[in-house]
Amino acid sequence: MRIAVLAAAQLAALPMTAHAIEEPAHKTLVKDGKYEIRQYEPTIVAEVEITGDMRRAGNSGFRPLADYIFGNNTARSEIAMTAPVTRAKSEKIAMTAPVTRTMSDASWTVAFHMPSDWTMDTMPVPNNPDETLREVPGATMATLKFSGNGLEGAVIKREEALQTWLIEQGYEAIGTARYAGYDAPWVPGPFRRNEVMIPVIQAAPSP
């Protein structure tokens, strides 16, 4: 209870946007309005898996991860909040299940990126056994920025638009799309920064 209260109090003190807090290090390779190709450096994430629709995944996954960074870990250490918080369909589900137009019964991985001054050797272990720490290798990501509350229909629409754009740019998707939210939940939809992100490689030239 104490940790939950502390987390709520500290979340209330966060800035209205994420520009004042750390984001994963990257270099922009291509910029076309709201579309970008970025090269991300390796990072560490704390993550938890949630079953249900995308909105439930965001709400249910955020709480235990917030508990972790506010001290619910073996060292009782507080860890700085970063952005974005990401949600992605489980890779196991994505690789085996039929492609559908619904996100209602998916298994989602919700992740917080850890600050760059931590390493896997120094990160405290989560007390919650459902949470895991993982080192994510560097990757090239196609991204599309948009505002709003990140509802399912809006995310699907942006994902389709991003898929079309990255093909036009000569890139090929190599992984599951993820939804990234950069702002606190109380920020009004029109002012929120959201992104759809897809890992990509440059497509082989046509023979």
pLDDT of residue 101: 31
Strands (E) in the chain, as ranges, are 26-32, 35-40, 43-52, 85-89, 106-113, 132-136, 139-146, 171-173, 178-181, 194-202
What is the rounded distance in angstroms from the CA atom of residue 156 to the CA atom of residue 159? Answer: 5
pLDDT of residue 207: 63
pLDDT of residue 11: 43
Q: In the numeric block, which tokens belong to residue 135?
A: 């080192």
What is the rounded distance in angstroms from the CA atom of residue 43 to the CA atom of residue 80? Answer: 15
Which of 162, 166, 169, 163 shows the shortest CA–CA distance to 194?
Answer: 162
pLDDT of residue 3: 43
Q: What is the C-alpha radius of gyration for the chain, rounded to an integer number of angstroms? A: 17
Residues 6+ apart with CB under 8 A from 185: none
pLDDT of residue 91: 58
Q: Is 78 helix (H, G, I), strand (E, B) or coil?
A: coil
- The CA-to-CA distance between both ends of the chain, in Å, stands at 62
pLDDT of residue 14: 42
pLDDT of residue 7: 43
Cα 152 from chain centroid (whole Å):
15
Which domains does the chain possess?
2-202 (3.20.80.10)
Predicted structure pTM score: 0.81
pLDDT of residue 76: 95
Q: What stretches in the chain show pLDDT beneath 70?
A: 1-20, 91-105, 206-207
CA atoms within 13 A on the CB side of 109: 18
Q: In the numeric block, which tokens belong to residue 11?
A: 């979340």
